[in-house]
Structure 1
């Protein structure tokens, strides 16, 4: 790919330029004459459309799409992909639209060009939002046709090659975007040659000083390595010859960005990274790979735990190779990669190396299968993401290169991001399995759901039909699919809970006006929705439930009641306090219980509205309530429903004698009484006594009273009191 400038002519100034004649001559090596003619026709349309336009380098604009097409020709892409590459900027930068392209060529080429084009007709608040929206559009278009991302990668590669003419700040921004998004995408699709060049060019542009220092250090170190490299290479070749094994041996240069990343991520010194000698052995057949492995292990001792078999278990992007690390001469580490010629082509070009399989409808290619799985995952992320920024965040998480390989109980291999937990595995199996996950076994042993998985583990997920995702899972999941599905569920749940609570609050206020929601004039309701820029009644109820709209004011607007009418009705038998809102305990995220006093069923309670959060419930007399009663529009009378459900947190202080094992004794007694301890801390008052502070769950005041009675019966307990703010 880096040789894309092989067929060049030069202008008088000496700058290289790409000519259509050079491209057509190169295409004769693998395309039919009529297909080359179509490519030339696309060039004529592109050249006419871009007539008079120049790049910042000063050369005619059409040289850029030609250069992009040449990069794709090196990958031996089909002629329609090359045509789309030559036309890829006409929708964005000229008067030609998608419909005109479809007429001039066909719908397929129009879709390819449109997929690569940026969203120019929408105004975004920030550049970050615009970038996220454009990446989202491109990736979703890619799920229909993978060639869209290949054109975009080639486009980005040529832009990076000519980045030097940009202003430094713009150059750094484009370089960072390349390193964070485009290079990882190339890696995810297995296109190593493009990924490597994008990383190197991004490194030069974003950290020019670091690049310069590292380049000088590598050049200096390389002078001392030639003799050692030669000796190791000769020893390997001689051993292969003795064993009757063919193959070629290549010394593998570490790329500067790869060295920089290793130093930064693993906190290594320069000498620790550079003093590793790397070789690649390329052979003819698969079984020869394993024979060569045995030969090099007999030549130099292998480093324990550093062997990886990516042939038996390929990487997600289809990469296959044997990796091993040896103790070389004088204890020097020697990295060896062993692969076949076909695996080598696959490692360099990824999905592009197997383009002909897609054209023929054969999906057996490992790269195609890996890409297909990733594209399905992208569509799931799109459904769960709220906006383009969130979608891009999920995609970045999904592009982590490190992987862990685990097995299902039936022996199927699952590839997950490094650090993945049981929950990540459950969502990788199926969204429903993740949503209903309650427990898991790893290698037949029960483990917590937050357990991180390791290579070779067999994971079995236990589900329950009534189970739902827990917000706490977001603290430890690492895969984008798990994170997106959990967030999506919680977001929908909050919408539902807020709408239900809003409905109850609005009905309560309408009752004061001798009305109910069914009696509201539909025209008046629609006018109010239009004014608030809301689409449905549910959205209005959700706004009320979240505290963004006051139910009293909404009720007035819906009934056209004057403030005096409401005041009069408030003095009647239907006063606000006479019909308080019933708290059931199932309102979830839109009804919160204040941490200052931690109310539980049976306590006298009051509440306030908190915009964006909903109802916050306090105990009567809580010091933090202050003057809220005087502020009628944020004050709400509430009471417990007849049968509240769920567990509620409360805080108790237990003064104990300073004896060994007292904390365990008290905790065991709390657990015996059916309570879960959420947090415990200790205050030492003097050498004889300590105060234990427990935050634990109870069902109601009666349950708490039973627990306190049980704790008072313990000999070590001197005093117990509930903290109520």
Structure 2
């Protein structure tokens, strides 16, 4: 059967573009891929009515514009064949090579696995694509080209599909293109996504950009002529390009900075492209003698490149327009890397390191995602964590040795510590920024030097998750806390099961290995540690497990005697992962306490004088006798009710007195208020009953306080 040839003009156009930089034998291979793809997709049409093969050819043509290699073009032509046709992977591998088959497989969406919803399927498809990217970065270039052509032909989709695809493009694919430095693709994806998601807003801004006053356009032409003349006087070979911000870029600035269209300063700008790096700085000096720069708006991305390899000088100048004009200055190679990012690697494959640097940075970022604990998370959570890493704004921080790390905007010293190494982050206790001690939640600024102070005994705290911004920091903290929680649960569950077995006058050591293994198998526990953790988390009653392990042993003691006979488990406050301190009575060290086993929550600690104790005694099998250890660590919440004089400053005086006692205030609630008296409830953190007594004494002495009592 002869190969069909449904769109020879499009194929010929692709081959002409590829022929400007690829050898003849590779063009033959691309043509064979086209013939195979046309045969595989024979009879299939797009929503627009065109033959389906026009889409893969258009994707390959986008890549040819970026001068991608022949293997990538073959994979682009066949990228939908595995999903939408009967073409086997083995045939692609035998005909075009294993690397082409791997790329096609990486781009292919998951279609055979059942998911709960469309969102989860998309997230899992994204995870698979990221894994394929870690093996071959060209996968994402094909996927971005695929998405770009889909966005160009979005009109044939339903309104709901257009909105979903546009939102996904703006949230995921455009930021990935930016993260990989492919600005020419990023800009078009953003503008097409904006147009599809907010068509009216797009039309208004696009019209504003197109209908700039003639005087403004003339003024821009005058500035361009003066810039060209001034640089020419310096005998610098250059290329000068004027530019206008796209609709999405203008809209983002208006939205984020709450500005009107005519308040956006750098809608218009110029790019000066020179031959050598030193000529960039020479041209900068020439530009600054022509127009004055705005203070604090100069950025040197040549000395300190962006994380995606972008290099350029940026300066904002006062102009005759009455508003600033941005000027970017870079070399020819920097310009290609700025526009094409990692795609420039295939242009400069055999030249210098300018582009391979961007390639290495991109590969490092992808590998970091795949090798992190994030990759083991559920698909939707993994996708959300990747979104956090796709920050367009970055800060550039120096290590004490002068090395540079790029971090997202609002990053903290703790993010910096985890960027250096997971162990450094886990053991962080303090930080110095420019040699001054600062809190580890301080937001960093570009150019600062950060030094991390560690201690072997220090460990991550759950509240660190409230201020770190990088995916690596958040994942490392969560992983550590989960590991500690599991260890605490196993430890506590072991003690609880031992206490239950003691009432049967035996112990876990006396349970035979076959008997224990039989119980684990029957209840589908892979190992003993999982059972013990389940006991601590309240999902299994220890006395029920004990009786199942020793069916011939039985206790003749009644419920109250059972509670009395059990030896108390001592707690020291470090078991926060499996212990919950109740909010009905707020127990603190020094109080007489008990534990109540609650499914999913583990042991909930109550005071023995808690009003709910009467109900808990009805279920002695859930009662866990516990007591405080000699040394207890951490802070514990407690509520204090204050009756105060109703006048300004009373609250401030109480807060100051509490702070003087080294206690933190979690919240303050007004319960009652009349002309003379206010009633306030403070939730504060204390070490123990002695610390609480000190706070009560200190606050009672205040002249605005009538009474203080613990709730």
TM-score > 0.5 by shorter chain: yes
The answer to whether structure 1 residue 622 and structure 2 residue 613 are counterparts is: no
* Aligned-partner SS, 1:543: helix
Give the corresponding residue for 1:174. Answer: 165
| C-alpha contact (below 8 Å) 2:396/2:447 kept by paired residues | yes
After TM superposition, give the deviation of residue 238 of structure 1 in Å.
Answer: 2.6
Cα distance between partner residues in 2 of 1:545 and 1:682: 34
Instruction: Identify which range, 441-450 or 349-358, moves more after superposition.
Output: 349-358
Cα distance between partner residues in 1 of 2:338 and 2:353: 20
Give the corresponding residue for 2:432. Answer: 441
The answer to whether structure 1 residue 128 and structure 2 residue 119 are counterparts is: yes
| C-alpha contact (below 8 Å) 1:708/1:720 kept by paired residues | no
Cα distance between partner residues in 2 of 1:304 and 1:99: 61
Question: Which of the numbers 602, 608, 622 marks the counterpart of 2:596?
Answer: 608
After TM superposition, give the deviation of residue 465 of structure 1 in Å.
Answer: 1.0
Q: Which runs of 5+ in 1 are unaligned?
A: 1-9
Q: Which runs of 5+ in 2 are unaligned?
A: none
Question: Which of the numbers 588, 591, 597 marks the counterpart of 2:579?
Answer: 591
* Aligned-partner SS, 1:251: strand
Relative to structure 1, the CA distance from residue 659 to residue 63 in structure 2 (aligned partners, 3 Å threshold; closer, same or farther) is closer
**Where does 1:675-686 land on structure 2 (aligned, <5 Å)?**
675-679=662-666, 681=668
The answer to whether structure 1 residue 471 and structure 2 residue 465 are counterparts is: no
Cα distance between partner residues in 1 of 2:564 and 2:34: 76
Relative to structure 1, the CA distance from residue 18 to residue 537 in structure 2 (aligned partners, 3 Å threshold; closer, same or farther) is farther
The answer to whether structure 1 residue 138 and structure 2 residue 129 are counterparts is: yes
Relative to structure 1, the CA distance from residue 499 to residue 17 in structure 2 (aligned partners, 3 Å threshold; closer, same or farther) is farther
Relative to structure 1, the CA distance from residue 281 to residue 603 in structure 2 (aligned partners, 3 Å threshold; closer, same or farther) is same
After TM superposition, give the deviation of residue 657 of structure 1 in Å.
Answer: 8.7
The answer to whether structure 1 residue 113 and structure 2 residue 104 are counterparts is: yes
Relative to structure 1, the CA distance from residue 191 to residue 496 in structure 2 (aligned partners, 3 Å threshold; closer, same or farther) is same
| C-alpha contact (below 8 Å) 1:427/1:433 kept by paired residues | yes
| C-alpha contact (below 8 Å) 2:503/2:565 kept by paired residues | no
Give the corresponding residue for 2:569. Answer: 581
| C-alpha contact (below 8 Å) 1:407/1:413 kept by paired residues | yes
Cα distance between partner residues in 1 of 2:157 and 2:424: 49
After TM superposition, give the deviation of residue 676 of structure 1 in Å.
Answer: 3.6
Instruction: Identify which range, 496-505 or 353-362, moves more after superposition.
Output: 353-362
After TM superposition, give the deviation of residue 719 of structure 1 in Å.
Answer: 7.1
Give the corresponding residue for 1:64. Answer: 55
* Aligned-partner SS, 1:350: helix
Question: Which of the numbers 215, 221, 225 marks the counterpart of 2:216?
Answer: 225
Could you list the per-position Cα deviations for residues 47-88 of structure 1 after superposition, in whole angstroms to 9, with x for gaps in the alignment? 332232222222222222222111112211122222222222
Question: Which of the numbers 228, 242, 248 marks the counterpart of 2:239?
Answer: 248
Relative to structure 1, the CA distance from residue 571 to residue 458 in structure 2 (aligned partners, 3 Å threshold; closer, same or farther) is closer
| C-alpha contact (below 8 Å) 1:582/1:639 kept by paired residues | yes
After TM superposition, give the deviation of residue 317 of structure 1 in Å.
Answer: 0.9
| C-alpha contact (below 8 Å) 1:443/1:459 kept by paired residues | yes
Cα distance between partner residues in 1 of 2:191 and 2:8: 22
Could you list the per-position Cα deviations for residues 456-485 of structure 1 after superposition, in whole angstroms to 9, with x for gaps in the alignment? 111111011111111111111111221121
**Where does 1:544-559 land on structure 2 (aligned, <5 Å)?**
544-559=535-550
Cα distance between partner residues in 2 of 1:586 and 1:216: 62
**Where does 1:292-303 land on structure 2 (aligned, <5 Å)?**
292-303=283-294
Could you list the per-position Cα deviations for residues 521-542 of structure 1 after superposition, in whole angstroms to 9, with x for gaps in the alignment? 6566556555655433322222
Cα distance between partner residues in 1 of 2:327 and 2:51: 46
Cα distance between partner residues in 1 of 2:387 and 2:96: 35
Question: Which of the numbers 5, 19, 24 marks the counterpart of 1:33?
Answer: 24
Give the corresponding residue for 1:6. Answer: none
Give the corresponding residue for 2:317. Answer: 326
| C-alpha contact (below 8 Å) 1:18/1:63 kept by paired residues | no
After TM superposition, give the deviation of residue 191 of structure 1 in Å.
Answer: 0.6
The answer to whether structure 1 residue 367 and structure 2 residue 354 are counterparts is: no
Relative to structure 1, the CA distance from residue 612 to residue 17 in structure 2 (aligned partners, 3 Å threshold; closer, same or farther) is farther
| C-alpha contact (below 8 Å) 1:385/1:484 kept by paired residues | no
* Aligned-partner SS, 1:335: strand
Give the corresponding residue for 1:89. Answer: 80
Cα distance between partner residues in 1 of 2:587 and 2:69: 68
After TM superposition, give the deviation of residue 242 of structure 1 in Å.
Answer: 3.5
Cα distance between partner residues in 1 of 2:292 and 2:72: 48
Give the corresponding residue for 1:3. Answer: none
Could you list the per-position Cα deviations for residues 493-533 of structure 1 after superposition, in whole angstroms to 9, with x for gaps in the alignment? 22222222222223322333344334446566556555655
Relative to structure 1, the CA distance from residue 661 to residue 162 in structure 2 (aligned partners, 3 Å threshold; closer, same or farther) is closer
Relative to structure 1, the CA distance from residue 403 to residue 643 in structure 2 (aligned partners, 3 Å threshold; closer, same or farther) is closer
Give the corresponding residue for 2:206. Answer: 215
| C-alpha contact (below 8 Å) 2:563/2:625 kept by paired residues | no
Cα distance between partner residues in 1 of 2:666 and 2:36: 70
After TM superposition, give the deviation of residue 36 of structure 1 in Å.
Answer: 2.0
